A = this chain, B = another copy of it.
């Protein structure tokens, strides 16, 4: 029971329900990623990896619309996004879907499976994606003998928690426009962290997906973006975004006490 993730996993992805929409193909590439590169991906620069630094992990390619992870999948590995953009979707019993997040390069997928051994949320690629497969049993083994890896694991898990807390705070205390503002600022920060422009970027998701994530309807999202455009706060044209006065967006977020 307690060594769930010690099992090496014979076949893998023992999905319960034969899901309809997204297909998960096992397209492992020949590319392998070293542990030290993985740590860099996670923005956790870890010096003392020792010999473990040269341990390598396989990667997997996922095309737009395909899933990395299906709800009900057995938990066996974490996935670290090496490139591309995805969405995490929770599915309730009545078939209702809700977007829980938009992972991108450097983010970790599949953490939710740790608790009960099976995943509760689906992760679907929004464009061409490459993920690093990190079998959890192997990671745990490495953590046991290397404090640096141990720390990496704990911080990674905790970071997800803090991320969700921020989202929770946003949903609880911000009005519609402020939520969209916060969303844009968050995206800007993350793009900047990857070396891309903080002010100009393209959305990879639809208005509906943004709305689902923010607890809003797609029309409301569209209106908020149109309002930003009208006020000269941002230039918005379909999926292309240019932030003209980020301070104005920040002000909206700061002022709003759930309007």
Is A90 a contact of B165 with CB atoms below 8 Å?
yes
Interface size bracket, A side: 35 or more
Tell me if A's interface is mostly helix, strand, loop or mixed. Answer: helix
- The count of identical subunits is 2
Q: Which of B5, B48, B147, B164 contacts A164 (CB 8 A)?
A: B164
Residue interface bits A144-163, CB-to-B below 8 A is 1, else 0: 10011011001101111110
Interface centre among A112, A121, A168, A214 (most CB of B within 10 A): A168
A115-B162, A165-B90, A169-B90 known; A151-B4 Cβ under 8 A? yes
Query: Least Cβ distance of A11 to chain B in Å?
Result: 23
Residue interface bits A1-15, CB-to-B below 8 A is 1, else 0: 011111000000000
Interface positions, chain A 157-180, Cβ under 8 Å from B, are: 157-162, 164-165, 167-169, 171-173
Q: Which of B6, B157, B258 contacts A158 (CB 8 A)?
A: B157
Which of chain B's residues have a CB closer than 8 A to the CB of A26?
Answer: none
Beta-carbon nearest neighbor of A96 in chain B: B257
Q: Which of B2, B158, B168, B213 contacts A147 (CB 8 A)?
A: B2
Interface positions, chain A 96-122, Cβ under 8 Å from B, are: 96, 98, 100, 111-116, 120-121
Report if A215 contacts B (CB, 8 A).
yes
